[in-house]
Structures are given as structure tokens and as C-alpha cells.
């Protein structure tokens, strides 16, 4: 039981850490932030949304770095088996629908098979 609580706590910390924007104006940091957002399945944030939520001034270069990182992470995220994602009970936010049109169908199949056991 203790292992479950530790795992949940660690997962929560990772999720919180991945949600906060970089506090620097380094393009590499913003690239990595975008990549990490996609790798956990978050939807891409818009330019205005990032500007409002960030503690630094997000210019077009930082947003382009974020976008490039996001697209790279999204390509990798969408290569996983969607059926396994559904079986694990992970939330799917639709970021692969235009890359792999059947991703959502296979995700839902996996999610449905999870409830059978």
C-alpha cells in the first residue's frame, strides 16, 4: 500500500513540474517544455495562453521553440499503442487525431477492454 502512495505522489509531482512554464528566455528550455507537454499528452497551448500564464515575456521566437518541441514530442507520443494507453486508464486529449485518425478508436477499444477485467 505504501508503494502505491509513493507512486501516486511521484506521479503528481511530475505532472505539476511538467505543467509550469520555464522561467528563462532560453529557446532550448521552451523547446523542452513543449516536448514534455506533448509527451504526456497535453494539448498545445496557444500563443496568448502562454503569454498570460508565463512569468517571462513570451515572444514569437520562444513560442516557435515551444511549438517545435511540442510537435517533436507529439510525433513520439502518437507512436505509442493507443490500446495500451486506454487499458492503463490514461486520459487521451485528442492530440493524435490528425496524425493517426484511428488512434482514438484504438484508445477507446483499450479503455473498454479495461472494464471487462
> Torsion angle, CA of 42/77/59/48, rounded to 10 degrees?
-30
- This prediction has a pTM of 0.79
Tell me the C-alpha distance between 73 and 67, whole Å.
10
The cell numbers describing 32, all together, are: 523542452
**pLDDT tens-place values along the chain, 117 residues long:** 455 443 444 444 444 444 688 989 999 999 999 999 999 999 999 999 998 888 888 899 999 999 999 999 999 999 999 999 999 999 999 999 999 999 999 999 999 987 665
Tell me the C-alpha distance between 107 and 56, whole Å.
37
Amino acid at each position: 500500500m505504501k508503494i502505491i502512495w509513493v507512486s501516486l505522489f511521484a506521479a503528481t509531482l511530475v505532472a505539476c513540474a511538467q505543467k509550469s512554464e520555464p522561467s528563462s528566455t532560453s529557446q532550448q528550455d521552451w523547446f523542452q517544455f513543449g516536448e514534455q507537454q506533448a509527451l504526456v499528452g497535453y494539448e498545445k497551448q496557444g500563443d496568448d495562453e502562454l503569454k498570460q500564464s508565463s512569468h517571462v515575456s513570451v515572444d514569437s521566437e520562444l513560442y516557435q521553440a515551444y511549438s517545435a518541441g511540442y510537435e517533436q514530442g507529439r510525433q513520439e507520443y502518437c507512436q505509442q499503442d493507443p490500446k495500451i494507453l486506454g487499458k492503463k486508464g490514461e486520459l487521451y486529449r485528442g492530440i493524435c487525431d490528425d496524425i493517426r485518425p484511428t488512434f482514438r478508436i484504438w484508445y477507446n477499444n483499450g479503455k473498454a477492454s479495461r472494464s471487462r477485467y
